[in-house]
Each structure stands twice: as structure tokens, then as C-alpha cells.
Chains A and B, each alone.
Chain A
């Protein structure tokens, strides 16, 4: 509050001889003079004095400034703002001091102004509002110190968290309340949601929920849906909020007739029909229309028409509730890329990002290729965030593509523990740098120590050697496996392998590898099969193998649609002690049952594999470790290598040279809130293994074994837990079954 008493009205027109500054303690007089617009020797004008007054206030350094005249000298009286000595927060139990300190601007030794104090108070209130504590109160207190210094204390009373007691919907005839509650991000208060903040009341998230609901309805047959703003009333005892969403669904539509028109003479719409994801009669799906437009524009681009715009025109037949859609392909603006600027890559080299771009400078600007480039850069895994947008270039038909990335820590030191039926208790430790020195090279050292397996391997891979479509890699490994319970011996493998891989197109990849491995079979238990005893000793394997993969799955980790086929051939015999050609062919088909059962989480996966091994040099026959083993992971219901040829007397598995397996598995969601990450599985596995060594006392029967059962996988906070319970239905007398398989691995 500036001091009372108006300054003596100074007449304009006199000449100022000198400027005197009074009341300044920390700031030098000539600093203040440098801000003044009236200098000694100027003619005094009152508006210039006012303007200097305003500039001095604008610096934020002064609490009060008054300019007066005594005769020919100009007197500037200032009262400086205090310096902050310490900032302290009090009463903040839920949010730590340094989180608050980051949000506030006032620091030690900075200048304190009333506006800054209010700004900081509001910043603290915003943090508490985001955590759902709307009742929080923040009281800034100033403690005067000597030499115009002051201590600033924010007294905070946090108040109760406002939780969401109940969410209900009005006007939803198409979908039940429980289904819609699963769609929105805000959840109702529940005991298992102690840790999560999804049940706290947050107005911005309610706006986001409105959008989620709108998109869900668009996807499921309601193009005219309107979602009203969520209304929230506080419960009488102020403990929680009741949220209500008003929904006006509008009629439910199915697809009418679908048509494609093309403005380009030599782009025949008929050839594009197979990109349609919408079919007459199906329920209306806004996303499918969007995906189809994108697929059509991609297809046109690839056919040499870079400037294509696809507009879906929807005409509603209201009586029959049918939406007829015409995809009109029209000529888009002819724009070329002038420059691609990449910024934010403080660690990754520019070429590592640029080689992922499907476009170069000077090419036609094509939104579909930009989207694909962004996905490829995101799949690199080096960046927290990647945004690509374009700004007008130097000519009307030129644009500058601006890619902005945010680097992420790509070095991982992982320490894991777990238990699995095959390996027993296991602990693994690994150092991995996915983006070594920003060059895109993936280097990894990994050691696993388990009851029945210990393994050390070092692997280095460069995904684009010399910026070419060629990935080069190398591994050095040492594996020690205790297979006494399975086949009565310990196996030790140490070796090196070189890998090279390339892709024909986005779906077909091929990779070659050469491995040189020394294998030693040792401490064979007495009483084990004589076919195992003869295998003791060390053998050298020198093998060239190739793998051809045709992958059309929508997402390799959590696949819902598509299929993958893999053909692998291993040729051993260029030197080394064993010579054979082993071929493996496996495939998996994923069918979404969303249309049948209405929930996208139902996925039927049908997979199968076939493997055959035949030697071609009688002097260097294949060893037991080279043969196929059936049971455990590839045939649930049976122990590891529990099915297939076996030495009846010593009950040791001998492996086989011909194997086929087939598995049908239905993945279904469990009636538990989706955020717990529980997925159920029901499966039937069939498999057969035959053609082992010849000799007496051996059970070798090619009849198929069948195992069926159910399983659950849980993405728990401490790691992925898999439990399978399976019963062997068709088996041989000498096979070894196993009902429960359990796998738990954590990595932190």
C-alpha cells in the first residue's frame, strides 16, 4: 500500500539539472537512473515522468515508487521489494515439498512481489485440485527479517479427497451401465483402488470420459449420439460425488450399400474394394469408416497417386435405419516436402531417425506415409514422445515437416526373479542399452541363474547396418542345463553366433545366422538309458540357419487379428561333429470374435507347428540335444519332454525327429474390472513326436497326445504371472503328465 500524500504537482517545462535517488538499499542508484526516461539536462515533462514511474514498477523490484521535484532536481523515492530468504511449506502431508517447490516460482534470494505470491498460491491449489482435493486451503505468511529480507511460509490445510461415490447413466438403452462404466476412465470408489487415483473426482477427466463415450457409441452403431456434460453433485456428507452422464443415443444404424468413386481416370474403384472394412448389413462403426478411408488413401498413394483425399459421404436412410456410405477419392492439394527438420534428439543421431522416414525431402507430401513414419519412429523405443507436424514452406506448394522427439532413458539395468516349472526358481540380471551412443545399436548382457538352468549371453545388434535394409548382430552365450529329471544328463552349451536379417516388405522378413557351438553332455546318472550313455562327451555344432517370417498381425504383443507364418531351416554339417537338415514350419491365426460375442477381448487363436529332422551323413549322426521334445510349453498337460519316445526301463526321454503340434486357444476377459489385467484362457493342445533312435525297450508311438485345460495370466504390479491347469486326455502309458504349470517373472 503506497504511502499516503500526493507528490507536489511539478510544472512541465523546467530543465532538470540532476536526479537524486532516495530509499534504495540493495539496488544502486545508477541502475534506477538507467531505467528513468528523464535524464539530467532534459526538459521535465510530466508524462515522461509517469512513464518512468511505470517502467520502474514493471521491473518488479520495487514495492512503491514516487517521483517529485525539488527545484531543478528530480527526486525518486523508492521502497524496494524484499528478498526472499527461505520458502517453506507446512501442513502438506500428501504432496512432498520438492513437488511443490518445482511448481512455485519464488526461490531463495529472488525478489518477492505480491503478484508472484498469489501466482504461487494458485499453482499449489491447482496441484491439489488435480489430486482431487478441492477443499484445500493455502495461506501465504510473510515473516519480516532485518535488511529488508523476508521468509515466506505457505500454510496448507489439505482437506479430504473428494472421491467418486457413484457413476450412473441416463438414456442408455443400447448398452448396460456396467459396460459403460468400463468404458469411462473415471472409476467408482472401491477398496482395491486405494493406490490408483482413477476414482478421485477430476473435472478434466470427466470431459475426457465424454469423448470416450462418444467414440464408443460411434464404434458401435450410433452415428447421431450426443453425450451431455457430466453433472456432479456432492453427497450430503461431502464424502463423495455422484456423477451422471446424460446420453441421447439416437437411432442405431447398420451399413447400407457401400460405394467408391474415384476422380482419377486410371484409378479403377473396383480394384480398391478389397480394402473395405465395412460390409453392408454390419452395425455402423465410425472407426471402421475412418480405417477404411485411411486404407484407401494408402492404397492410392502406393499406386502412384500421391495427392489423394478420401471423404466418406454418409447418407442416412432413416426409415430402414441404414447408412449408405460413398468413399469419394478426390484430387488433394499438390504439396511437396521442402525440408524435414528433426529436433530434440540430444542423444540419438539424426540419421537413425531420418532412415525411418518413408519420405525424403522433395517428395510429394502424403499424410499416410507421415503417419507410418511416426509409428516406425515410435516403435524404435528410444523416445518418450514423437510429434510430427508441418508448417508452410517457402512456396505455396512447399511444406516443411517438423519432427520433434523427446529422448527417453534407453539404458536398462534389470534385476529379475521368478519361478517356472521348467527352470525352478530363477534370478536374472541384465544390462541393456537399446540405443548405444545414439547410433541405434542394441547391446545387451544378460545372466540367468536358476535351479535347472544358468545362462550368460552377450548380444549386439545394429538394426540398419550402414543405413541399409540389413540388420547385423552377434551373440556369445554359455548355457548350463540340468536335464537329469527329464533325460538323465546335464547339458552345457557354449558358442558364438552371427546374425543378419532384412525385410522384403512390411510383412515379410528373412534372417540368416551361423552358429558355432560346443556342447558337452556330462554326469549321466547311473541307471539312465544306454541310448543316453552313448551320447556322453563333447560335440561341435557348426550350423547355418535361415528363418522366413510372414507376419500380418495387428500388434505383435497383444494380437487380436491377423496371422503369422514362420519357416525355419537349420543345416548343420559344414564341419563340426553332427550333420543334419532340420526344418520347422509354424503358424498362428488370430480371429477376433467381437462381432460374435460383442466384446473385443474375445480372441480365438488357432496355431500349429511341424518339425522334421533328417541326417544325411551316417558318420555324423544327430545327437539327443538336436532332436525335438514334446510336452510342457508346446503340449500343456504333459511334463517337459513328457510325451514322445522314451526308454521304458530308465524312463529317460530320447526326443524324436518328426514332430507336429496343433493348439486352439480361446482368450476371454474375466468378469473383473479390466484395469486389474486378468485374462482367462481355455485351450486344447494336440501333438505327436516320433522317429527316435532304433533299439529295444523303447516306447516310440506316433499316435497323437491330447491335453486340454484352462489358464489365467495376470499382469500384476510385481510382474506377469501365468497359471495353467491342464489334463492329459489321450496319452501313452509311459508318458509323464503334469497338471499345473506355473510361471512368474518380475523385472524391476
Chain B
């Protein structure tokens, strides 16, 4: 990055090619102001270079510490999450008592959160993001960052529940009902606060019924009805257990779908 330095380490500003070279005034305050201005104009790449130059030329000024934070923010906005996390780790190690340490932890958790894959794919990044967000909530409970972190943790937990449901539905489509029960039970037991629980309970009712365990199906449906009375899923479960009751309209498969289902 910025400043073509000669072999022997002296900063050769003579043939400097980076944007920071154009700046006449190299004082830390000027550089920091230029960096903030570049950020506001969404020129994140250039902002990153200015903050790195500031940190290298004036490593001891108080501006350098803020510059490290701002360059991490610039990297974050350019979706370069691994670099942002690297800079933030160094910031947290060097300045654990800095007044913006809460923001550093929060930005690091956000960088991990942005790398979450959708529910069909590997969820290790989700687990990493959950741990980082939990860390922010534990360290700085009252800050605005903690509130946003709690919201994001719910969404991340929803992702993990979504993965379990996808695997459960896969096994159910293959009619491997024992495997499907295991996955739906994990959603009901470990992800109670997500919005997948009604569907999981309904799926359990469907499977217990098709396995001939009527009382188990009735017990599961009653739990679903008690906790989520208005949910269309309860309507479907109720329809399964009491002959004649109409399932929720969204549930009735179309004629073509039913015909296809019988053939295949």
C-alpha cells in the first residue's frame, strides 16, 4: 500500500505514486481529516491508504490509533473482511483500554457476521459470528452495539435453525423418518426462540402420525397449539389429527403436484 519506500526503508516521497503523495501537508491531523473526508465520499480504497500512511509516518501520535480503527472500517465497507479482522485484532491487542474498544469488538463481530453463508451451506462462519457477537454483548452490555449484536444473534440463530430444518426436510422427502425426527427435535430443543419451531412441531406431528404413534402426534400438536395458537402450522396439524377439519389453504398441494407426487 501507499508510499513506495526505498530498499533501505527511507520513505522516498520523490517518486511516491500513491494518492497520499498529492497531499502537501503531511501532519497527522491533516492526513486524518483527508481520510475522514475520503470515507464520507465513499472512496474507501483511498481512505484505507491514507490511514495506513498516517499510521506509518506518525506511529506515536494519538491519531495513529484512530487511523487503525478507521482503516479497518474502510476495509469492512469494501467487503475485505479478513483484512479488517486482522487490523482490528491488532488494535484490540495494542489498545485494550482505548475509549472506542467497544466499537472495535463490534466491527470485528460484524465482519464475521457478513461472511455467513445461506442456510444450505457451511454454517461454521455463523458459529464464529455468534461467538463474536456474544462476546460484544458480554463485554459492553449497555452500549448500542450490544442491542444490535443481540438482534444479529437472533438472525444468526435463525440461520442455524434453518440449516437443521433443511436437513430434516431432506430426510423427510427421502422418507427416512427416524433421521428427520432427530433433526426436528434439535430445532425444538436448541432453537426455541427462532420462528422455525412451529414448522418443526408440525413436521413431528406429521411423522409420528405416519409412524402410527397417534398419542405422540396428539401430544406434539397440543404443544404446538398451546404455544402458537394462530400459526397456520397448527391449523395443518389440527387438520391431520381431526378428520374433516380443513388444513390452512397454503398447505393444499395443487392437482399437478399431487399427481406428480403419486407417480414419483
A86-B9, A360-B174 given; A351·B120 CB < 8 A? yes
Q: Given that A344-B122, A438-B120 are contacting pairs, would A26 and B59 also be in contact in the complex, using a CB cutoff of 8 Å? A: yes
When the two chains form the complex, which single residue of A31, A350, A363 contacts B121, counting CB atoms closer than 8 Å? A350
* Complex Cα gap A59–B96 (Å): 12
Q: Is the CB of B174 within 8 A of A348?
A: no
Contact at A151–B9, with CB atoms within 8 Å? yes
Interface string of A333-353 (1 = CB under 8 A from B): 000001100111111111100
The residue from A61, A145, A467 contacting B170, defined by CB atoms under 8 A apart: A467
Residues of B171-213 contacting chain A, CB below 8 A: 171, 173-174, 176, 178-179, 182-183
Task: Give Cα distance in the complex from A108 to B97, angstroms.
Answer: 23
Contacts of B163 in A (CB 8 A): 350
CA distance A110 to B120 in the complex (A): 38
**Interface: A600 (CB within 8 A):** no
Give Cα A108 to B83, complex, Å.
13
Q: Are A467 and B97 in contact (CB under 8 A)?
A: no
Chain A residues with CB below 8 A from B98, complex form: 28
A109 within 8 A of B: yes
With known contacts A109-B56, A338-B182, A346–B117 Cβ distance under 8 A: yes
CB neighbours of A350 from chain B (8 A): 120-121, 163, 166-167, 170
A143 part of interface (Cβ distance < 8 Å)? yes
Give CA–CA (A688, B94) in the complex, Å: 84
Q: Which residue of B lies closest to A405 (CB)?
A: B122
Evaluate whether A360 and B179 lie within 8 angstroms (CB atoms) in the complex, with A31-B97, A345-B121 already known.
yes
Identify which of B5, B93, B125, B182 contacts A86 (C-beta below 8 A): B5
**A354 within 8 Å of B by Cβ?**
yes
> C-beta contact mask, B144-158 vs A, less than 8 Å → 1, else 0?
000000000000000
Question: Is A99 engaged at the interface, CB distance under 8 Å to the other chain?
Answer: no
Q: Are A361 and B59 in contact (CB under 8 A)?
A: no
Determine how close the nearest CB of chain B comes to the CB of A410; give it in whole angstroms.
14
The proximity string for A residues 344-382 relative to B, scoring 1 for CB distances below 8 Å and 0 otherwise, is 111111110011000011110000000000000000000
Residue contact A109 to B121, C-beta cutoff 8 Å: no
B78-92 toward A: CB 8 Å interface, digit per residue (1/0)?
A: 000000000000100
**B96 touching A149, Cβ below 8 Å:** no
Asked if B226 is an interface residue, CB under 8 A from chain A, the answer is: no
A107 nearest in chain B by CB position = B86
Known: A28-B97, A347-B121. A110 touches B167 (CB 8 A): no
Kindly state the separation between the CA atoms of A27 and B183 in the bound complex, as whole angstroms: 51
Total number of B residues with any Cβ neighbor in A under 8 Å:
37
Task: Name B106-152 residues within 8 Å CB distance of A.
Answer: 117, 120-125
* Chain A 27-54 near chain B by CB (<8 Å), digits 1 or 0: 1101100100000000000000000000
From B96, B125, B171, A361 is in contact (CB under 8 Å) with B171
Give the nearest-CB partner of B6 in chain A: A86
Chain B residues whose CB sits within 8 angstroms of the CB of A235 once the complex forms: none
Say whether A348 contacts B8, CB under 8 Å.
no
Which of chain B's residues have a CB closer than 8 A to the CB of A360? Answer: 171, 174, 176, 178-179
A354-B173 contact in complex given A110-B90, A147-B60, A346-B117, C-beta closer than 8 Å: no
Contact, CB under 8 Å: B182 / A361: yes
Does A303 have its Cβ within 8 Å of any Cβ on chain B? Answer: no
- Bits for A265-279, please: 1 = Cβ < 8 Å to B, else 0: 000000000000000
Q: A195 within 8 Å of B by Cβ?
A: no
The SS class assigned to the A binding surface is loop
Tell whether A85 is near chain B: CB-to-CB under 8 Å: yes
CB of A726 within 8 Å of the partner chain: no
In the bound complex, residues from chain B placing their C-beta under 8 Å from that of A345 are 121-122
- The answer to whether A143 touches B8 (Cβ under 8 A) is yes
Whether the Cβ atoms of A83 and B121 lie closer than 8 Å is no
CB of B75 within 8 A of chain A? no
Mask of B208-222 contacts with A, CB within 8 angstroms, 1/0: 000000000000000
Scoring A28, A345, A361 by chain B CB atoms within 10 A of each residue's CB, the highest score goes to A361
For A143, A351, A355, A466, the residue with the greatest tally of chain B CB atoms inside 10 Å of its CB is: A351
**With known contacts A31-B95, A466-B264, A351–B59 Cβ distance under 8 A:** no
A27 — nearest CB in chain B belongs to which residue? B94
Q: Which residues of B contact A61 (CB under 8 A)?
A: 94
A343–B122 CB distance below 8 A: yes
Interfacial chain A residues near B122, Cβ < 8 Å: 342-346
Task: Tell me the smallest distance from the CB of B50 to a CB of chain A, in Å.
Answer: 15
- The CA of A354 and the CA of B174, in the complex, are separated in Å by 11
* Closest chain A residue, CB of each to CB of B166: A350
Q: From A361, which residue of chain B is reached at the shortest CB distance?
A: B179
CA distance A143 to B8 in the complex (A): 8
In the complex with contacts A31-B95, A351-B166, A361-B178, A149-B59 CB distance below 8 A = yes
Q: Is A25 an interface residue when CB atoms closer than 8 A count as contact? A: yes
Q: Are A143 and B59 in contact (CB under 8 A)?
A: no
Instruction: Establish whether residues A30 and B121, one from each chain, have CB atoms under 8 Å apart when the complex forms.
Output: no
Cα A147 to Cα B9 in complex, Å, equals: 13
Contact A349 B121 (CB under 8 A): yes
Determine if A468 is an interface residue (Cβ-Cβ < 8 Å): yes
Q: Judge whether B60 and A26 touch: CB under 8 Å.
A: yes
Tell whether, in the assembled complex, residue B182 and residue A362 are in contact, meaning their CB atoms are under 8 Å apart: yes
Q: Closest A-chain residue to B115, C-beta based?
A: A346
A88 within 8 A of B: yes
User: Given the complex, which residues of A lie within 8 Å of B9, measured CB to CB?
Assistant: 85-86, 143, 145, 149, 151
Greatest chain B CB density within 10 A among A25, A61, A339, A360 is at: A360
B120 touches A468 (CB 8 A): no
Q: Does B236 interact with chain A (Cβ within 8 Å)?
A: no
Known contacts A360-B174, A361-B179; decide if A85 and B56 are in contact (CB<8 Å): yes
- Which chain B residue has the least Cβ–Cβ distance from A468? B264
Residue of A nearest to B68 (CB): A109
For residue A151, which residue of chain B has the nearest CB? B9
Residues on the A chain within 8 Å of B56, using CB? 85, 108-109
The answer to whether B8 and A147 touch across the interface, beta carbons within 8 angstroms, is no
Inside 8 A of A25's CB, which chain B residues have their CB?
Answer: 60
Give the docked Cα–Cα distance between A466 and B257 (Å).
13
A-side contacts of B170, CB under 8 Å: 350-351, 354-355, 467
Chain A residues near B124 (CB-CB < 8 A): 343-344
Chain B 42-74 per-residue mask, 1 if CB under 8 angstroms from chain A, else 0:
000000000010011001100010000000000
Complex CA–CA separation, A338 to B163 (angstroms): 17
B7 contacts across to A, CB distance below 8 A:
88
Cβ contacts under 8 Å, B95 to chain A:
28, 31
* Neighbour of A109 across the interface among B8, B55, B182, B183, CB < 8 A: B55
Residues of the A chain whose Cβ atoms lie less than 8 Å from the Cβ of B183: 361
Q: List the B residue with the shortest CB-CB distance to A470.
A: B264
Contact assessment for B121 and A147 in the assembled complex, using a CB-CB cutoff below 8 Å: no
Chain B stretch 231-257: residues in CB contact (< 8 A) with chain A: none
Q: Please report the C-alpha to C-alpha distance between residue A468 and residue B166 in the assembled complex, in whole angstroms.
A: 16
A79-131: which residues lie under 8 A (CB-CB) from chain B? 83, 85-86, 88, 108-110
Contacts of B117 in A (CB 8 A): 346
A31 to B93 Cα, complex, angstroms: 10
Complex CA–CA separation, A712 to B125 (angstroms): 51
Per-position binary interface string of chain A over residues 12-32, scored 1 when its CB falls under 8 Å from any chain B CB and 0 otherwise: 000000000000011110110
Q: Contact mask A312-348 → B, CB, 8 Å, 1/0?
A: 0000000000000000000000000011001111111
Known contacts A28-B95, A360-B174; 16 additional CB pairs below 8 A are A25-B60, A31-B95, A31-B96, A85-B56, A108-B56, A339-B182, A344-B122, A346-B117, A347-B121, A350-B120, A351-B167, A360-B171, A360-B178, A361-B183, A362-B176, A438-B121
26 intermolecular pairs with C-beta atoms under 8 Å apart: A26-B60, A28-B95, A30-B97, A31-B96, A85-B9, A86-B5, A109-B90, A143-B8, A143-B9, A145-B9, A147-B60, A151-B8, A342-B122, A343-B123, A346-B121, A346-B125, A349-B121, A350-B163, A360-B179, A361-B171, A361-B178, A361-B183, A362-B176, A362-B178, A362-B179, A466-B173
Give me the interface of A with B, judged by CB distance under 8 Å. Answer: 25-28, 30-31, 34, 59, 61, 83, 85-86, 88, 108-110, 143, 145, 147, 149, 151, 338-339, 342-351, 354-355, 360-363, 438, 466-468, 470
Top 5 A-B residue pairs of the complex, sorted by shortest distance between their CB atoms:
A151-B9, A361-B179, A362-B178, A349-B120, A360-B179
